[in-house]
Every structure is written in C-alpha cells, then in structure tokens.
Structure 1
Amino acid sequence: MSSAEAGRRTRARGGERLLALAILAALLAALLPVVRVVDPGWWLVGALLLSALVLAAGYGARRYRLPAVAVTLIEAAVWVGFMTLVFLRETALLWVIPTLDTVRTVPLLVEAAMEEITVGAAPLESTLALAFMVVGAMGLLTIVVDHVVVTARMPLLASVGIIAVSLIPAIAAPSDVDVVGFVFLAVTILFLIRAETRSREKPREREAERTAGVPATAVGIGAIAIVIAVVATPVLPQPGARAGSGIGAGPGIDATLQLGDDLRRPQEIEVLRLRTDSPTVPYLRATTLTRFEGGTWKPDRSQTVSLESDRAFGGVEAADGVRVTDYSAHIDVVQLDSPWAPVPYSPVGVSGLIGPWGAVPYNRTVATTDGSTQGQSYQVDYAVTRPSLEQMRATSAVGAQARDETSQVPADIPPIIAELAAEVTADEPTDYDRLTALQRWFRGSDFAYSLESPVEDGFDGSGAEAVARFLDVREGYCIHFASAFALMARTLHMPSRVVVGYLPGNPTTESVDGQPVFSVMSSQLHAWPEVFFEGVGWVSFEPTSGLGVPTTFSSDATLPGQTTDPSTGAPRPTTTPTALGDAAEIDPESQQQGAGAGSVRPPVDPLPTLGMVVGVVLLLSLPFLLRELRRRQQQAAARAGDAAAAWQSVQEAAIDVGIAVPASETPRAFANRLIADHGAPASDMSTVLRAIERASYSRAGRRSEWMGDAAAEAAAAVRTALLASVSPWRRILALVAPRSLVIRPGSVYAGTAPVRAG
C-alpha cells in the first residue's frame, strides 16, 4: 500500500471517528432532558456507556468493511450483552448470555416501568425497572441513529428523530423553555450534520468547502433555530403548574395525601362531565380520610354494601326545622381510572354503574373492589341539608356524636396547631363562628397558595409536622390547608375529617334536557375539610386560599341559598353556597345564550393565538427556508468557481422533484437522462457537465475559475426547467418539503437509474 493511500485511509478513519463522537454528543443532548422527569442516578452513566459501546462496535465493524446488516447485528449483540450483564445477570449464562428466564424477566421489568410512569409524578424515583427502560431505549436509539447516519447517510432524518426524543420529557413534564439545553441540542445536531458531510469528503474537497460557505450555512441554520426557540416560543401559551391545581393531574385518584409530586405534574386532561338540576354545581367527593395515625391522615376503610341495599345510603337525617332539598346529577366519565366513583354529597341513590359497585354507608361514598370508573355513566340522587345561619349558630359541634376516630389528636402534636386555633377563634361565640373565623383566616392575605414553596422549604405531605411547618411558612396547597383546618378543629374538640374529590367543573356550551354540561379537569382534584354538627351532619368548609367558594349560610330573613336584590327587593341566587356542596352557580339562560346580546365577556388576549400562528408558520416554512439557504450558498460557491457546488445543486433539484440520483450513474449518463426524459435544457446541462468533468479530471481540483458565472447560471436554469417539468402539486411539494434535506445524492434512498431497453 502506497503512503498516499495509507494517508487517505487514516483520514477516512478520522472522519468516521469524528462522526461517531458527533452522534454520541447529539444523543447526550437528547438524553439530558430526561433528568427533569427521572431523578439523576447511575442510569445516566449507564445510558451513555451503552451508547459509546454500541458506536465503538459499529466503528470497529466498519473498519473491516463488513456489510451493513452485519454491523447492525454486532451492535445489537453489544446491546443485548450489556443489558443482560447490568440488569439480568442473575438469570443469564456466564452473566451475559440470555436464557429463557432472562426473556421472561424482561416483560416484567417493562410492565413495572410503565406502571411507574403511569401513576408516578415527575421527577420519578430512579428504580431498577425505570433504569432498564431508559438505558435500553437509549441503546436502541443509538443503533437506529448509527444506521441512519452512517449506513443510510441521512443525518437530517436522524436529527429529526433525536429532536423528537428530546421533546418527550417536555411533553411529560412541561416547564419553561430551556434555552441553554435547546442551544446545546442545536449545536450537536449541526455538528452531527457537518461531521457526516466531512466523513464523505476528500481532503481537497474539504478545502474547497471552507471557501464555499458551508460554515456560514451551518451558522444560518443555527440562527434560525435559535430565533424560533428564543423569540417565538415565549409568546406561545406556556404549560405549567396552575394556581388552583388540586391533588394531582393524572388519570386516577390517590387518597393517601402524600401527593406533593403529583401536584407539581402539570398535565391536564378532562376526567368527567357533569350536569345537574340543582341551581348550583356540587363538589364531587371520592372518599374521606378520618384516622390520623402516625402523624398522617389515613383513607377510610371502604367496606361496601350493595347499592340496592336498604343499608346503602338511606335518607338524610336532620333536626326539626332544617330544610333538606333533593336534586339529581348525571356524571359521564371521560378519562378517570379510579376505584371511587365521584358523587355529590349527600347521595341517597346511585344508578347506572356497571360492575361490582357498592356504597360505603359511613361516609356516603361509592367504591368498588374490582372495577374502575373508566367509561362509566351514572346518575346520583342526592339531598342537600340547608340550615339557616341562625340554626347553624344554635348547633354545637363540640361533643357531637361521631366516631371516636374523628376527634383523636396525637399526644405529640406540635403546640403551634392548638395555640393558633385558640388564638384565631378566641373572640367567637359559637362553634360555627369559630370555624368560619378559621376559614377567613386561611383565606386571608396572610396565606398564599403555592405548589413549590413547600418543597423549597423542606416539607411536604399532610402530617402534623408538615402542618406545623405550613402554619409557620404560610404557603402551601390544598392538602396543607385542609389538613391544618381539620387538625385545628380537633384541637377545639370538634369532630373533623378530610375529603378527597373534585372542584366544580367549568361550564361548556353544551346542554342536555335543558341542563348545562360542566367539564371537570384532572387539575381540579382537590382536598377540603368537614366538621360534624349535631342535627345537621357533616358540613364542608373551604380554607384553601384562592380556591373554591367559602362556606356561608343565609339568615332566616331570606330562603336558604338566596339573598335579596337591593334594587328590586326580589330574591336572587347567592354567589356563596349554603355548604361546600353548592359551589358554582348555574345560570341556564346565560348558558343557552352564549355570547348573545347583553352578555359581557372579558377581553381576549390575542398574543397567545398570534404567537401560536407565528410559531406554526415558522415551523412549516423551516424546510423551505433551509433548502433556499442551501441553494443560495451553492449558487454563491458556483459563482466563485466551485463546479461541484453547481453539480450538486442540479442533483438536489432532481431529488426534490422525484428524479433518481444513483451513485452508480456517471455524470454524463445522468446529464443525458435529464435532457432526454425530464426536459433539462441541453446547452445549460452541457455547461454544468463540462464544469464538473473538467474539475474532476484536472489538477486544479474542484475549483474552475475559467467558467466564471456560467456554471452557476446554467445550474439555476436546469433547476427551473426541472421544476417546470412536473405537475403543479409536485412542484409545490418540492418547494415546501424538499426531499434533498433528508436524502443525499448517491445514497441508497436516492433511487436507481431506470433500465433502458437495448
């Protein structure tokens, strides 16, 4: 082997090594966003190590000029060996050879990881199953990207896949735009594309390329991407944690109250739809938490009886003179997988549920031991107790006949809870006034709703210590407000418990049988306290600052739930309910009128919509802009004497309109085919052909200044003729979605030359 040939091979291997490093850097940029949804751990090192081993195996196999299939099989063998050694060696032969037990274990790990992803909240704990899923997926992605980039020579297509993978964490846990991460990803993608191009160039071509403006093209592409990310993205509607978010945002209900992470998961879906004949929309309760053991609230044991049983619900007991009103509600579950069926309080009958559903008589909830709410549609008949303000003040909560566990307080409860309860209620004459004083205090300016402050200050959950910390910091979410209120009520010797359920939904434009339909979102999952009053029953309160409607009762001067309009003296619906179960006022007339005359709607901010339109337009026009930028760079290089740039411009124009550009065809045969079959002008095509042939076979290399602007102008004329030779639809597609961005001339995807009859 001559020294010149050895030098060429050394330079080729150097280009392949650089390409492997570029692929690894791009994969690292795609992997880093995963840290937002999975706690950083050894899985990160494992994923990078596996990617490096796969790329090294591919590089080594190609040095021996093995077929592409063999290279991929070797990389797959490395993946299997690594995954077996790290995760499944106890079931493997010699730690790396999978056995039948190894194969059986894989679905179990995948199933466990999927369950953690489904029910967990970001950031997820780095468990063995989750690490197996992430590391394995990273290895498979490496094999695919390596094949697409190195074997198929389609770096842009691989870049699209890498970018798509990097967006998955942002979809799972939306947050503010990570400009630094995006710029890093953009730089690695550009580095990958450039490394792939250099790996196919000869040394002389690289020198010419530097004068042809390829670095400027890369800078231009990067600038467009960064402008879109930094300028357009901030004006789009930003997902994030919502003030008023409830206990979670997943498709189920977690009643443990250990849900700080779920609160900070900002996904939102519609869980159910509700309509009712009540003048107000009720809160929907799933279950209650009465026992306060080990410093935390425990869900009530759900021993059920048949919904048809006389012991299921029974009637609502109330003292003489306390008004009870009957209503019905219809609930359609859209996407909620829960063993509790949300119902208004207090249900007296439930119909339409399919499966082994039963009633829990103690807390008047509906549950199942073997089923789900998913796809259910049911009707609830419920009764609302409506005492007057005077009746509430005459009723005692202290010493009310409820279960002992409703008034138990741990002996080691932090003193601040009882001290503040006594201080806030010191001047109030009745139990009801004491509780409304607590409610006002929590909803006042001293407290703020926050999803982040609890975590930043080192506390979470609903235990006594967390409540004490919350009362000190005075920032928290619904769990803290509800738990603090219930514990403080118990220190005042009042039976209390915590309810988990949903806030009233949002009105829609739909109505059924004259009843407006309300949509309940996953972010409206909520917790609130209840206190038991003799002769009235469990009364709900809303202490969470900025959420729901505070509980109030009307005086005997008006009907319960009504006030008097001072302008007419006529009664009108109140904006505050007589109990928490009446939480959102329904106005059927305004629901039916929509935006008709006389309705007042808040002004609409056009910026989010405009920003979205601009973002979509920029995204759709990006392929055209990139192709146009590349064409102009090629034209400038051709005018400077680069014959290869002019020839490549013709090749890419042919690919854009669907003409095959195989590697096996000589430039002259390709030129003749364009002239004969596709209407390319013979004189212009001949000019470009002479330029590339002269540059290929002369000592001057690719540069041929003697041609002047002729090659550039001829290449532009050929491109115009090729576009004119196809149908208008094909022409538009060639401009807005140019295939040459992902298909390189001479690649296996560029097509084969047609076979001509002898």
Structure 2
Amino acid sequence: MSADSTTRTDSARSPGRELIIVVALLAALLTALLPVLRVVTAGAWLFGAVALCVLILGAGHLARLRRLPAIAVSLIEAVLLVAVITGVFFADTALLWMIPTPETLQVVPQLTAEAFEEITLGSAPLDATPALAFLIVGAMGLLTIIVDHVVLTARMPLLASVGIIAVSLIPAIAVPRSVDVMAFVLLSASILFLIRAETRSREKPIEADSARSSGVPATALSIGAIAVVVALVATPTLPSPIARAGSGVGGSGPRIDANLNLGDDLRRPQEFEALRAWSDAPSMPYLRATTLTRFDGAVWQHDRVRTVPLDNERGFGDLPIDEEIRVTEHRTNVEVTNLASVWLPISYPAVDVDGVDGMWSAVPYNRTVVSQTGTSSQGQTYEVISTVPRPTLEQIRAREATTEGQRDDTLALPDDLPTSIAAAAIEVTTGTTNDYDALVALQRWFRSGEFRYSLDAPVEEGFDGQGADAVAQFLEVKSGYCIHYAAAFALMARTLDMPSRIVIGYLPGVATPDRVDDEVVHTVRSSLLHAWPEVHFDGIGWVAFEPTNGLGSPTSFLPAAAAEGALGNPDDPSAAPSTSAAPSASANPNDPLNPRDDEADGSTVGTVNPLPTLSVLLGILALLAIPAIAREVRRRQLLTAARNGDSAAAWMTVQDAAIDVGIAVPSSESPRAFAARLASDHGASPQRLNMLVGAIERASYAPDRVAGYWHGDGVADAATAVRAEIVGSAPPARRILAVVAPRSLLVRPGSTYAGAAGVRARAR
C-alpha cells in the first residue's frame, strides 16, 4: 500500500470540519479579549465585541458553504463590520442608520483620537466610554476578518495564532500586572484547539492507521501542557518588565497623577525605581511635585498659577518667615531614573534649583518647578536648595493658621459638604486652645488604632475617590490610603477656619548602601507616590502634616527649653519627639523591609485573616483533584456502556488501567497476546481475561448478526475485577500516580506514549 493511500489532503473541507475550525477561532478570539477586562470596565462593549465576532465568523462560514470566492467572503465580512459599527455608533449621521456618509467619515477620526486620549491620560480600569467602546469593538471586528482569512482561506493557523497572542498581550504591556493564570491557560488551550482543528481538517486517516493517529492529540496536549507549565514557572523568575518613560500608551510612560487618582498606581504590583536622592539634611525630605487647593466637592484641582522662568534672578522669591523663626538651609540632589512628568520632585521650601536641562519655570505660590514646553523630567539630575523654618513649640502655638497672602480658595468648602465632616472635626479638637494643638489632635486621631491603612477597603466599600462623599464614608469606615487621609484632614481643617491644601509628591524612600559625598543615597520607588496635607501659619508658611496611618512620622516641634534630641510623650503636643515641620521618615506599607510605624501612635496590628490562605489551599486541592475526578467519570461511562453490551468499552477499561500504572499497550499486540502478558506479568485472572478477549474478538470479527451477542453484566464485572488486579499489583508510587495523574486521560492505547517499551524490555 502506498503512502498516498494512507492520507489525503482535501481540496475542500467538509462543512462539519470547517464549522469546528470556526468555533475554535471564535474561542481563541474571545480568550484574547479577556485581558482587556483588566484595564477597561466591563460594559456593553463586551457584548458588542462578542456579538460582532459571532456575526462575522457566521457570515463567512455561510458564504463558504455557498462556494463563494475568498475575496467575496472577505468583502461580505467587511460590509457587515461597517454596517454594524455604523448602526451602533454613528446612526445619527448615517444613511438608513447603517450606511456611512461623508459626515460619518469625519466623526470617525475624532472618536478615535478621543479614545486614544482616554487611554493615554486615564488610569486602569478605564471607564467604558463610547469612544473607547468604538475602538475596542471596531478593532475586534477587524481582527476577526483578518484571522478568518488567514486561517480558513490561507490555511495558516500558526500565523493567526501569533497575531491573536500579540493582541492579548497589549493590555499587559500597557498596564503591567501579575500573570492572569486562568486567562493564560484558556488562551493556550484555545490556540492549541485551533491549530489541532485546522490541521486535522487537512488529512483523512484510514481505519488501519487510526491507532497510530490517536497519539496526535496526546502529543499536542502534552506539548501545550509543557508550554503552559514552563511559562507559569519561568515567568516569575525573569526580571520584571519596567515601563520606561515614553514606552507607555501614547508615549507618556510612568508619570505623576495630579488628580489624586493614586489608587491604581499604588496597587500596581510591578513597582519600579522612580528616582534616587541624597541630602545633607538630618533626614531625607519629602519631594513635592505640585499642590491642589481648589475643591468643588467632587475633585481637587492642581494649582494653575503664575510662573517665573527658573533661570530668572527673582526665581521663587523671598520666604515670608518672621525674623525670630530659626531657619536651616539644606541641599538635596535628585536623579530621576524612571519618571516622565512635567513637574520636578523637589524638597520644600525651595529657594533655588540648579542643573536641570530644558525650559522649566518656578511656581512661587507653592515653590514647585513645572515644565514650560512639556519637557519631561526623565533623566534629569539637579540640586535643590531649601530653607526650612524651625519654629519652637511656643512660637507655632502663638501663631494662627491664616490666609494672609494666600488665595481665598484655601478655605473654600462646597455647599453640600456632609455635616459629618465638620462634626468629626469639632469632636476631635474639643479642648484644644490653639490652631496648632487642634491640628495635632487631628493628626493623632487619624494615626490612632481607630484607623487602618488599606488600598483595598475603598474599592470594596465603594468610596475609592476624592470627593466630599468619599471623605465622609472614609471617616465612617476608617480605612483607606493617603488620598483619603489627606483629603479628610484638609477638609476638616477648613471647617475649623484653617487654610489648607493637598500636596502630591513622594515619600523619602529607602536608604541604599551607595553614598555620594558621604551622603546616603535613597531609592524612591513608584509605590511611594504620596499625598499629604499642609496648613498655612502666619509668619511661618505652609506646615506639612502626616495623618496617614502607618506612614512617616507625625509632625511636631520641640519646646524652646528642651534639650536637643530629647524625647517626649507623642500623645502630648507640648513634648513632641521631632523638630521637623515636615514628616521625617517614611515606611511603605507594601514593603516588607519597611514595616508600618504604628508604635508612635499606639495602634495595634490586626490579626491575620486565614480565609485567603485557606481559599488558596482549597483552590489548589480542587485543581489537583480534577484529573482524578475526570478519570473516574470516564471509567464509570465505560462501565455503563459495557453493561449495555459494548464489549469495546469493557476492553478499554482494562487498557486505561494498564496505561495508568505504566504497562505498555502497543498497537502491534493483539488482545489475546496482551491478555496473556497481563496474566503472566501483572497477576490478572486468566479466566476473566479470557472472557474479555472472547467478547472483544466476537465484537471485532464476528458477522453482524453474531457481533451483537448479549453478554450481560459478566464482561463489565470482569473488566472491573481485572482493573483492580492490575492496579493492585503495581508499586505503591504507581498506584498513587494512577489516581492523582492518570495518564490515560492524555495517552490513548496504541499511541506512541503507550508504546511497546515494556514489551521490548521483557523480550530482552
């Protein structure tokens, strides 16, 4: 028999096989869409994308059934795509709601540009706006047409698979996160299914080679399983991808969010070094980028005020500090390693910034530095000179928090401010006699054991925002992160008639072994992006406070008579442990090397919740049990078929048991020879094996009127008993593997993996 008689390539696939390929292609496209759900909020766009994929693939399949040319099939799919997109997104400008007009063509670029702007400026998860929905649905429709042509017309499933995988990686590249194991496994399985379905449609094996071809699915599945395992095991060992400046969507790269939408940045698992800094100050200062003063009840707006060219001799201007207030001058050097921002992180209050490249301006109002032409901070290295006021406790107590020389909106409050905010401020500050003590009371309250730092609680409780309602709910739940503490502190201060604002910047970072000019270099990572409040004091300036529980040190000042370095009671503002007007230390609550600093405020560490760990363990056990459950279901199905008269099912039960315990089941061995080997080498009962061999031979070779011979439950019982004997004779390790990882789920009798290695070994 020639090789050509074994297989043949069909010039035209059967409708059934082509339909299987269409289903496989749809599954691959839908699994490629899953990663998008991690960066875009689910909505009507998801249904639209799925429905459009189904419509396009269905139309293409029907066209091929009509034997239409490939160009006609693609043209029909393209017309369907345009009609659906026009009807859904541009019906008001279309002819008959589905035919594009010149006006429609003018709107498309505008909507596309709007979608890209939302991607560039937004933070994940993005809201599913009409522009973004149009972009996703339209892109999925176009991708469907392309891969449909590549797979079903050009017959290149590998090329289509590469394209589908590349599309699925785009969300992960745009927003680096931990590996979504389930989505990865589903995508891998769908790609293997697609390749297998298309490949199988090319060949038609004859019955004599059915046993040989039965090993192909096992080979494909084995390769796929190995690829999945290797990817999941090897990926965590590789260096984490760092999104360099300019590499993000739209070229923006890592940047500072001045709209207080910090939650997604702080929750991002792949943190990276944003900058490095070293200073001659007693402790590393906070590095501010900009301030937010105007509040409309929903959003804090960053300050857009007068700027002065940085190289201008007037620069930041003079500091409005009373002569009797002691000031100290410090130098801080900053090296930006991975931050694309129009603001330069600098220490406060800056009086000079030197060494920056490009066009930059000083902002006298908040003593920050902003780019004049959109120049990025990436790669900048500069020196900041700061003059820090050091009032004594008596001096700051004697001064009021006033708006003298400041903007009126530092005291502005929305008309619909929840009354609970002002009520809480009055309750906490009752008994204080001056503004400073009242603010310290607020600070101490936030840092007490009543509050808990959490990145997840605001999301779970539904107040992950910056508005007045979110602040009110935060004060009720008493769990959140820096923006909630800072916004609550600033609003409560304003209800007490004290001018306040919020600062966006970075915590001081973590010390490294490196030194420059005998100064310790600190690394500031992306997770240290922070928000904190400031209050303006007459004759002193803006004083920073640190209400965020577990971060930094509470702001405090020493009495004039106190010895330098003396320690006092942190609960008594008259004997505070710090001489700095700004928080002097930081601890990232997500960094195990920097535990939360709760000792100073008496807060206690909560008990560990065992439920997440228990859930993970139960999930792992459930996954491990899947093969055993699947094997048991298959065994019961075979036995049910055997009791209904299917001798082949009874014989398959014995073959599966042999494969599970490592006994070879080669295609070259007859049932009678295989049964003799089981009886002599593996302790199976010869009588039961003879019954099984007789039944399978009768079913295989007897005439049709005899092949249907009814054997009752005897053959099924014999198969069950022989299976138990085979498994019982195997070593304990083999018996365990037969239950936990049954090979018969992947390896079929007569295939390469069930080959005659054992028979050859016995012959030698």
Residue equivalent to 1:21: 23
Question: 2:349 matched to 1:341?
Answer: no
Matches of 1:559 and 1:402, distance apart in 2: 35
Q: Deviations over 1:194-232 (max 9, x none)?
A: 322331232636981587234444554565466568888
Q: Deviations over 1:489-548 (max 9, x none)?
A: 223333222212222234455544444443433332221111122332211011011223
Residue equivalent to 2:53: 51
Counterpart of 2:442 (choices 432, 438, 444) is 438
Q: Deviations over 1:162-218 (max 9, x none)?
A: 344334434545666655544543443343233223312326369815872344445
Helix, strand or coil at the partner of 1:531: strand
Relative distance call for 1:518 and 1:100 in structure 2 (3 A) is farther
Any residues of structure 2 matched to 1:62-101 within 5 Å, and which? 62-63=64-65, 79=81, 82-83=84-85, 86-87=88-89
Residue equivalent to 1:305: 308
Relative distance call for 1:430 and 1:524 in structure 2 (3 A) is same
Matches of 2:167 and 2:208, distance apart in 1: 32
Residue equivalent to 1:414: 418
Q: Which residue type is aligned with residue 282 of structure 1?
A: P
Matches of 2:331 and 2:129, distance apart in 1: 46
Question: 2:518 matched to 1:501?
Answer: no
Q: Are the counterparts in 2 of residues 213 and 637 from structure 1 also a CA contact under 8 Å? A: no
- 1:253 Cα shift? 3.0
Q: Are the counterparts in 1 of residues 558 and 578 from structure 2 also a CA contact under 8 Å? A: no
Q: Are the counterparts in 1 of residues 555 and 580 from structure 2 also a CA contact under 8 Å? A: yes
Q: Are the counterparts in 2 of residues 295 and 464 from structure 1 also a CA contact under 8 Å? A: yes
Q: Are the counterparts in 2 of residues 503 and 524 from structure 1 also a CA contact under 8 Å? A: yes
Matches of 1:68 and 1:511, distance apart in 2: 68
Q: Are the counterparts in 2 of residues 212 and 637 from structure 1 also a CA contact under 8 Å? A: no
Q: Are the counterparts in 1 of residues 284 and 585 from structure 2 also a CA contact under 8 Å? A: yes
Question: 2:345 matched to 1:350?
Answer: no
Residue equivalent to 2:6: none
- Percentage of identical aligned residues: 57
Counterpart of 2:200 (choices 194, 198, 201) is 198
Q: Are the counterparts in 2 of residues 401 and 534 from structure 1 also a CA contact under 8 Å? A: no
Any residues of structure 2 matched to 1:133-172 within 5 Å, and which? 133-151=135-153, 153-156=155-158, 158-172=160-174
Residue equivalent to 1:126: 128
Residue equivalent to 1:293: 296
Q: Are the counterparts in 2 of residues 272 and 335 from structure 1 also a CA contact under 8 Å? A: yes
Helix, strand or coil at the partner of 1:280: coil
Residue equivalent to 2:592: none
Residue equivalent to 1:731: none
Q: Are the counterparts in 2 of residues 271 and 520 from structure 1 also a CA contact under 8 Å? A: yes
Q: Which residue type is aligned with residue 327 of structure 1?
A: H
Residues paired across the two proteins, number: 576
Q: Which residue type is aligned with residue 259 of structure 2?
A: T
Once the two structures are overlaid, the 10-residue window that deviates more, 437-446 or 315-324, is 315-324
- 1:443 Cα shift? 1.4
Residue equivalent to 2:533: 529
Residue equivalent to 1:36: 38
Helix, strand or coil at the partner of 1:539: strand
Q: Are the counterparts in 2 of residues 454 and 475 from structure 1 also a CA contact under 8 Å? A: yes
Matches of 1:162 and 1:126, distance apart in 2: 22
Relative distance call for 1:351 and 1:456 in structure 2 (3 A) is same
- 1:125 Cα shift? 1.6
Matches of 2:362 and 2:99, distance apart in 1: 54
- 1:712 Cα shift? 9.3
Relative distance call for 1:238 and 1:378 in structure 2 (3 A) is closer
Q: Are the counterparts in 2 of residues 532 and 539 from structure 1 also a CA contact under 8 Å? A: yes
Q: Are the counterparts in 1 of residues 356 and 382 from structure 2 also a CA contact under 8 Å? A: yes
Query: Tell me, which stretches of 5 or more residues in structure 2 are unaligned?
Result: 1-9, 242-251, 569-575, 588-661, 671-749
Relative distance call for 1:9 and 1:305 in structure 2 (3 A) is closer
The structure with higher relative contact order (CA 8 Å, sep 6+) is 1
Residue equivalent to 2:479: 475
Matches of 2:107 and 2:404, distance apart in 1: 56
- 1:456 Cα shift? 2.5
- 1:75 Cα shift? 5.1
Q: Are the counterparts in 2 of residues 173 and 266 from structure 1 also a CA contact under 8 Å? A: no
Matches of 1:542 and 1:127, distance apart in 2: 37
Q: Are the counterparts in 2 of residues 400 and 494 from structure 1 also a CA contact under 8 Å? A: no
Query: Tell me, which stretches of 5 or more residues in structure 1 are unaligned?
Result: 1-7, 240-248, 566-573, 586-632, 642-704, 717-758
Relative distance call for 1:337 and 1:106 in structure 2 (3 A) is farther
- 1:289 Cα shift? 2.3
Matches of 1:269 and 1:112, distance apart in 2: 29
Q: Which residue type is aligned with residue 134 of structure 1?
A: I
Relative distance call for 1:177 and 1:268 in structure 2 (3 A) is closer
Q: Deviations over 1:326-357 (max 9, x none)?
A: 12333344444444333211111233445553
Residue equivalent to 1:317: 320
Q: Are the counterparts in 2 of residues 212 and 636 from structure 1 also a CA contact under 8 Å? A: no
Residue equivalent to 2:367: 364
Residue equivalent to 1:5: none
Matches of 2:448 and 2:126, distance apart in 1: 35
Q: Which residue type is aligned with residue 115 of structure 2?
A: A
Q: Which residue type is aligned with residue 25 of structure 2?
A: I
Relative distance call for 1:513 and 1:14 in structure 2 (3 A) is same
Matches of 1:143 and 1:558, distance apart in 2: 78
Residue equivalent to 1:464: 468
Relative distance call for 1:65 and 1:275 in structure 2 (3 A) is farther
- 1:457 Cα shift? 2.1
Relative distance call for 1:391 and 1:162 in structure 2 (3 A) is same
Residue equivalent to 1:455: 459
Counterpart of 2:492 (choices 472, 488, 508) is 488
Residue equivalent to 1:622: none
Q: Are the counterparts in 2 of residues 399 and 493 from structure 1 also a CA contact under 8 Å? A: no
Any residues of structure 2 matched to 1:195-234 within 5 Å, and which? 195-202=197-204, 204=206, 208=210, 212-217=214-219, 220-221=222-223, 223-224=225-226
Q: Are the counterparts in 2 of residues 122 and 265 from structure 1 also a CA contact under 8 Å? A: no
Matches of 2:311 and 2:237, distance apart in 1: 55
Relative distance call for 1:107 and 1:529 in structure 2 (3 A) is same
Q: CA RMSD in A?
A: 4.4
Helix, strand or coil at the partner of 2:288: strand
Q: Are the counterparts in 2 of residues 558 and 564 from structure 1 also a CA contact under 8 Å? A: no
Helix, strand or coil at the partner of 1:281: coil
